[in-house]
Amino acid sequence: MSRPRPRRPLPFVAVLVTALLALSIPGANAGSLPWYEQSDPQARDSQVNVSGEPASGTTQDGQVRGLIDAHTHLMSNEGFGGDIVCGETFSEDGIESALVDCDSHGSDGRTALIENLTKLEGKGPFDPHSTQLWPSFEDAPKWSSLTHQQMYYRWVERAWRGGQRIMVADAVNNNILCSLPTQVNKHSCNDMDTVRRQVQETKDLEAFIDERHGGPGKGWFRIAYTPQEARNYIEQGKLAVILGMEISNPFGCGVALGVPKCTKKQIDAGLDEVKNLGIRSMFLCHKFDNALCGVRFDEGTQGVIVNIGNFLNTGSFWQVEQCRTDLHDHTVAGGVVPPDVAKAFPVQVLPVYPEGPHCNKRGLTDLGEYALRGMMDRGMLVELDHQSVKAAKRTMEILESEGYPGVVSSHSWMDKSFTERIYQLGGFVAQYGHDADSFVAEAAAGDDLREEYDVGYGFGMDMNGFGGTPPPRPDADERPLVYPFTPVVGEGSIERQVTGERVWDYNSDGVAHYGMVPDWVEDMRSNGGPAGQEVVEDLLRGPESYLRSWQNTASWEPEQDLTKGARPSASSVQWSLGGAFRAGNAIDDRRNTRWASKWGDDAWWQVEFDTPRQVSRITLDWERAHAEDYRIQTSLDGADWQTVHTVTGSDGGIDTIRIDPTSARQVRLVTDKRATKWGVSLHEVTITS
């Protein structure tokens, strides 16, 4: 084999000529732009108005820093039939094609029924508005307008450049709004069709941004399907996008006059499909009761509208009762429908409800429990918001009984008493994106709890989701947000945002669109005093906390149930033809069977292992006839019993009891006080090490 000749150095003149020739070749200097600037921009587009390289990497101890929006609706213009949220997130034909008003708004906005009914500064159902968006944006987007596109991709880019590192993009729909006789729809109203369409549009946006930045994988917008992928993208300084789902009838699981419209087989097929689509976070119910769970009510006029929607969707109005515990849903209006609302809907009168506080009678159904456990089997994040407190309580009990950390409250739509239980499991909590002062006040109230559990915080802007965004601060003249300001992570400068002929100023416009989120966070940091600075610091730790929850969820496996193969016994068994209530029913993995004692107090149920086992968690799934006061005892010989835990005031449901690891051959439940006139009854008992 011949030896390669040594390469001679090029003379200086040759090097110079080569360099000049290279500069003359079209596209030869395309790589000179920073990676975060577009190498192939559209002819006309929105400005970003942020300078400086996006922060990348992690802290010295490997943690990510930045902001997380745990609840957005990036593609809701593709939902609701495609003609309620006006304007697109992106368009191959440019911004002038993307940011246009809905056809149904007419020439002056007077025919924009949904816009005019929901507008937070509206004057009635025929309130006019300018229907020109690009380039003047005279009347929209605006903090008070709920039907105009607020998440154009360049505005999202500004939020990322301003420090955001995670976005949860929830596919969303409302089949009743979509089905109104006033709607002229472009797309199907079916919830699952909408999910498929919005997920595909999100993937198309990822490819579109890649194209603007030089090709596949080079864009700043990255869909993450695993927590490690999300960490990798954030390490690079990019935005990790997690796909979620928030619809009223997942997998077709509506309900008609109490009859479910889906089966367990459909639920399994639906969960497999959404997991394959890339969805990693999901709500079991949203706005309307369904075959899986009852919902947490809306309040005021919006509550009236949603309750009418519940009737149209299910055949029934919300079933309301006075709450029996400190847990409660929102108080909902009943009786005569307000005239403005009655003009748009065929319902004139609602039921007359009792005095508040109100609770939805409907909780987590058997199908809902099946779907919940299916989500757990697939490692999905369970969104607790929008469940009635009765449903949320049962959901939390099931998650606690399995030690499942994947639970999220993403936009303040749950009873706050669940917050600590979420932290105890290892879940994540975010707060709805209210105005800066209100956000700081509410967030500051939870500082001690976050410090105790060493967790960060998030916000859920619910952008494009009919919830409204922060208005301008009333005292902005006295204490304005000062431009320019620096991003919350990294270096650089953030100026007022400019799109077309419009210059947006947080002091007068509030959060008019998604690009104003960095301005809102800076207002908390610069004008919120020490409390605001502390809240922003907690927000900067939010992505790390979310990723830890997701990582722990992805690696979760159910613990071995020590009762399998063990010998059950009880002090008594309620008589029935065929012996239907025997002790072994409590460990047969079937919730439709149970052990029941004879009527009276002082009953016991126990299980015996072949050899001593280490015991640290006992889960009791009670039937309605539960024990109010009881003890958990252990023994190594069946004669000498030790009380390891005492419970007083149990409200039934699922009780999960954690004890210091204890060696035991027998584990016994001793009831001291029954909660009903009957005996006590257990559907299932599980014991783990």
- Dump pLDDT digits (tens) for 639-676: 999 999 999 999 999 999 999 999 999 999 999 999 99
Q: Long-range contact list for 110-114, CB < 8 A, 24+ apart?
A: 112/147, 113/180, 113/182, 113/344, 114/84, 114/147, 114/177, 114/180
Q: Which residues of 434-465 are buried (b: 16+ CB within 10 A; e: fewer)?
A: bbbbebbeebbebeeebeeeebbbbbbbbbbb
Q: What is the pLDDT of residues 182-207, one digit of tens each?
A: 788 999 999 999 999 999 999 999 99
Q: What's the rounded mean pLDDT across residues 157-180? A: 95
Task: Give the CA dihedral 187, 188, 189, 190, nearest 10 degrees.
Answer: -140
Q: Which two tokens stand for residue 471?
A: 């208005």
Q: Which two tokens stand for residue 350?
A: 């609602």
Q: Residue 322: beta bridge partners?
A: 358
Q: Do residues 183 and 81 lie in contact, with contact meaning Cβ atoms separated by under 8 Å?
A: yes
Distance in Å from the first CA to the final CA of the chain: 67
State whether residue 68 is helix, strand or coil: strand
Q: What is the pLDDT of residues 591-650, one digit of tens each?
A: 899 999 999 889 999 999 999 999 999 999 999 999 999 999 999 999 999 999 999 999
Q: What is the pLDDT of residues 315-374, one digit of tens each?
A: 999 999 999 999 999 999 988 877 777 766 777 788 999 999 999 999 999 999 999 999
Alpha-carbon separation of residue 44 from 134, 391, 476 (angstroms): 11, 49, 32
| Residue 4, pLDDT score | 38
Q: Does domain 567-688 have CATH number 3.60.15.10?
A: no
- The set of residues, in sequence order, having a beta carbon less than 8 Å from that of 572 and lying 6+ positions away, is 597, 598, 603, 679
Can you give 236-297 as a three-state secondary structure string?
Answer: CCCEEEEEEEECCCHHHCCEECCEECCCHHHHHHHHHHHHHHCEEEEECCECECCCCECECC
Can you give 478-536 as a three-state secondary structure string?
Answer: CCCCCCCECCCCCCCEECCEEECCEEECHHHHCCCCHHHHHHHHHHHHHHCHHHHHHHH
Res. 181 pLDDT band, cuts 50 70 90: confident
Domain residue ranges in the chain: 67-94+145-294+381-555, 296-361, 567-688
Alpha-carbon separation of residue 390 from 87, 320, 566, 629 (angstroms): 38, 12, 33, 22
Q: Which two tokens stand for residue 299?
A: 């309040």
Residue 23 has pLDDT above 70, yes or no: no
Cα–Cα distance measured from residue 651 to residue 674, given in angstroms and rounded to the nearest whole number:
11
State whether residue 644 is helix, strand or coil: strand
Q: What's the rounded mean pLDDT across residues 239-254? A: 98
Alpha-carbon separation of residue 415 from 97, 297, 384, 387 (angstroms): 42, 12, 10, 10
Amino acid at 49: N
- The set of residues, in sequence order, having a beta carbon less than 8 Å from that of 233 and lying 6+ positions away, is 222, 224, 239, 240
Return the DSSP state at 33.
S
- The set of residues, in sequence order, having a beta carbon less than 8 Å from that of 209 and lying 6+ positions away, is 90, 153, 219, 220, 221
Cα–Cα distance measured from residue 426 to residue 422, given in angstroms and rounded to the nearest whole number:
6
Q: Do residues 22 and 28 lie in contact, with contact meaning Cβ atoms separated by under 8 Å?
A: yes
| Residue 344, pLDDT score | 67
Q: What percentage of residues in the chain have a pLDDT greater than 70? A: 95
Cα–Cα distance measured from residue 313 to residue 38, given in angstroms and rounded to the nearest whole number:
45
Report field, pTM of the whole predicted structure over 0.85 = yes
**CA proximity to 334, closest of 301, 363, 359, 366:** 301
Instruction: Please give the distance of CA 472 from its chain centroid, rounded to a whole number.
Output: 26
| Residue 19, pLDDT score | 36
Alpha-carbon separation of residue 64 from 133, 231, 477, 546, 689 (angstroms): 37, 8, 36, 10, 33
Residue 376 has pLDDT above 60, yes or no: yes
Cα–Cα distance measured from residue 298 to residue 317, given in angstroms and rounded to the nearest whole number:
13
Q: Which two tokens stand for residue 5?
A: 């000749």
Alpha-carbon separation of residue 333 from 4, 53, 430 (angstroms): 88, 51, 28
Q: Which two tokens stand for residue 603?
A: 């009953």
Q: Does domain 67-94+145-294+381-555 have CATH number 3.20.20?
A: yes
Q: What is the pLDDT of residues 506-563, one digit of tens each?
A: 999 999 999 999 999 999 999 999 999 999 999 999 999 999 999 999 999 999 999 9
Residue 88: its H or E element: none
Res. 18 pLDDT band, cuts 50 70 90: very low
Q: What's the rounded mean pLDDT across residues 168-176? A: 96
